[in-house]
Amino acid sequence: MPISVHADPADWPAPVPALARPLGRDGAEPGGRPPSLAELTTLRVGGPVGSYIEARSEAELIDAVREADTAGTPLLVIGGGSNIVGADTGFDGVVVRDARQEVTLSADDRCGGVEFTATAGTTWDDLVREAIASDWGGFAPLSGIPGTVGAAPVQNIGAYGAEVGELLASVRAWDRATGQPVQLPLARLHLSYRDSALKRSLTDADVGGGRTWGPTGRWVVLSVTFSVRAASLSAPIAYAQLAHTLGVEVGARVDARAVREAVLELRRSKGMVLDDADHDTWSAGSFFTNPILTQDAAAALPEDAPRFPVTDSTRAVAGTREAPVIEGLVKTSAAWLIDHAGFGKGFALSEAGAGTAPASLSTKHVLALTNRGEARAADLVALRDAVVAGVRERFGVSLVPEPVHVGF
């Protein structure tokens, strides 16, 4: 019999701030108007939306999606808004947010592992804190990532040598193409670096069942089931910078709470933990994915450009991080390309720099585009295009934005 589990909050490591607004039960602001995209996203740009619904049950969420699709109304299902660039003109459709925050334990065999399910609206970092407090292994490197559980498999979120695909068992989703709920096992998600079938259905008609679906894909995530080992120690530390912060060698296993604190320290140093007072966190996180190149294209880069193997996480050995290397492909660093193309920390399309420009690269690292307080979407798009053009001209590599662009 499934039970809801919520570890003693006194045992949790410090929470991560989240963007929050008081809303009525109908999802409207106190004055009665729907919130704007700027109010719903961490980049804090974007115009008005047609209507806004907060679903407090799975049935309400499905009904809202089904009604929008039946009426032909554009649909945006939103979580924490941390991976969205909203257009200044807004979004003339319905925005739906899953307000459920539920974690249900279905199996806890200390010899074999732990299985539990989290609703799509659960704040990702709240789940990480609960997992660490409950000795559910593998989550610590993913601490501090903004957003919700529902978005995690769409992006196959990852950080510091770990990806959510290593923890997933299946996704329960509403299939907009068939009008039915479905259970998608890990193999059907086709996870890869910051990608999945869920994400590809936005723009790939073959994946989308014969059509594309706009800012929300064919499958609306309802809940995510995780299957992990019971462990108070981390998996072997795979990321050199994290190992250095912890004072251990790569490959060492460390108490998961210590890993979480080290990860949060690193993320704060890069402006990657939400903080209303820090404009470097008024961003969508890493704005560009690391380019995956052919060996010939990688060979054309300067000798000191980073080069990493590309692995196929969909074929990883169960319960391990051992994934086969894909021959002929090389991953390089978007941050390195941006920096070496002449776009340093704080770069802005203004001689005044980040101090007064409406938008700039983060003053802490070059991979985030940030709102300095008064930016509009147009300012961020202009900065994005300048960086993309500059890297293409210098290195012949086209950077791909990670956030979903809504209303453009």
Q: What is the CA radius of gyration of the chain?
A: 21
The yes-or-no answer on residue 362 being catalytic is: no
Q: Helices 256-269 and 124-133 sit at what angle, rounded to 10 degrees? A: 150
Task: State how far the Cα of 261 lies from the Cα of 71, in Å rounded to an integer.
Answer: 47
Catalytic entry in 115, 130, 163, 402: 402
Catalytic entry in 66, 188, 194, 229: 194
The yes-or-no answer on residue 402 being catalytic is: yes
Helix (H) or strand (E) holding 123: none
Task: State how far the Cα of 291 lies from the Cα of 175, in Å rounded to an integer.
Answer: 30
**3-state DSSP call for residue 356?**
coil
**Nearest alpha carbon to residue 142 among 54, 238, 208, 74:** 238
Catalytic entry in 283, 286, 313, 362: 286
The yes-or-no answer on residue 351 being catalytic is: no
Task: State how far the Cα of 354 lies from the Cα of 215, in Å rounded to an integer.
Answer: 30
Task: State how far the Cα of 159 lies from the Cα of 154, in Å rounded to an integer.
Answer: 15
Residue 374 backbone phi and psi in degrees, to 5: -130, 15
Please name the residue that has the structure tokens 């998961």: 256
Active site residues per annotation: 194, 286, 402
